[in-house]
Amino acid sequence: MAMHGELQDSHGRMMRDLRVSITDRCNFRCLYCLPETEEAANFYRSKWDALRNPHPAGLEPIKYEWKPKSHLLTYEEIGRVVRVAVGLGIEKVRVTGGEPLLRHGMETLVADLASIPGVRDLAMTTNGFRFAQKAEALRSAGLRRVSFSLDSLDRDNFRKMTGRDALADVLAGIATAKRLGFAPVKVNAVVIRGLNDHELESLADFARREGVVMRFIEFMPLDSSRAWMRDLVVPGREILARLQARFGLKPADQSGQPSETARRWIFADGGGEAGIIAPVTEPFCGHCNRLRLTADGQLRTCLFSLEEHDLKPLLRGGADDGALAARLVEVVRGKEAGHRIGQPDFVQPARSMSCIGG
């Protein structure tokens, strides 16, 4: 495999991080991803009315049908892609969805990925609903890091944001992860103006009390309703200013990690860490080292890619690992310089976050 070199794009960036979606399905209906509840519709409608703005750009919601099982990569196929990618320089692998814990027996996949020489970091992102039930098996299989989605600490607001009355289940999952020694435990909150931005300080305080790492993420145009509006984005600088005013923050040393998506801050009293991921107002595309593999075998070079590259014909057509490696190298060479959010020619991807993999 070494004859194919490494995964370097035409802008000189080396790919080290692979996000692997194992299902497009999810049991939540989050406003920023699959906003299919009446409360979600009412929230967006109220914002359009307040701004005297019709449905943005007149776009129709994405009508997406879940992929049948036969279209999804098997665990063996996923493992093969990861092995070839690691041979080309990938070091970090994150299992995502949809909601990954909806797929049966995923601890088998985790064990396989954990056994691959060269995988330096194996993690998972989950909504946390089933994590407490699966945690011990995942830990035994080799999973060491986990990130949870937690957009609100208020039960009613959590249900409004996710479409599910499941705050207690997510908190139980976080507590279980801490008890079993997953480290670090990260908690992600997508911040939407007029919905949960009033909870910034309480979420940060929760992270300090619980000893978890908090990540605040700007609202991105990846929702299936195509309802995203720039007015609903709380800029990273505003988030930082509010946290600074409440807690006092010191910048973390990130000198050796130029490809990190989060700007990290340490609480002045040493009580934990907060990070801000601001892809809308402060893009970090110049240092991007990520690839995404969708559950149905499409390789994506950017979260906002308009083009996908189907690996199934190679995986199911008898191609050897050398041919697969050559295809990965070829696709990466054409990776975009960056996304176009905020530009007049920006086009939202045809699939929502649930189908792309977070």
pLDDT bin (cut points 50, 70, 90) of residue 49 is low
H or E element that contains 213: strand 213-218
Q: 263 is written with which tokens? A: 């700007």
The residue to which tokens 């300090």 are assigned: 208
Q: For residue 300, give the CATH number of its domain.
A: 3.20.20.70
Taking each helix axis from N to C end, the angle separating 131-141 and 106-114, rounded to the nearest 10 degrees, works out to 30
- How many domains does the structure of the chain reveal? 1
189 touches 59 (CB < 8 A): no
Mention every residue, 6+ apart, whose C-beta is less than 8 A from residue 16. Answer: 89, 90, 91, 92, 259, 289
Average the pLDDT over 34-62 and give the result: 69
Any idea which of 134-138, 201-205, 278-282 has the lowest mean pLDDT?
A: 278-282
Beta bridge partners of 148: 126, 187
pLDDT bin (cut points 50, 70, 90) of residue 272 is confident
CA angle 202, 279, 311 (to 5 degrees): 120
Compare 60 and 81 and report the one with higher pLDDT: 81
Pairing of strands 298-300, 290-293: antiparallel
Does the structure show a pLDDT above 70 at 60? no
pLDDT bin (cut points 50, 70, 90) of residue 271 is confident
Domain that holds residue 261: 2-356
How many residues in total does the chain contain? 358
Does the structure show a pLDDT above 80 at 346? no
pLDDT bin (cut points 50, 70, 90) of residue 2 is very low
Beta bridge partners of 124: 95, 146
Question: pLDDT of 187-243, one tens digit each?
Answer: 999 999 999 999 999 999 999 999 999 999 999 887 777 778 889 999 999 999 999
In angstroms, the CA 203 to CA 250 distance is 18
Mention every residue, 6+ apart, whose C-beta is less than 8 A from residue 208. Answer: 247, 267, 271, 272
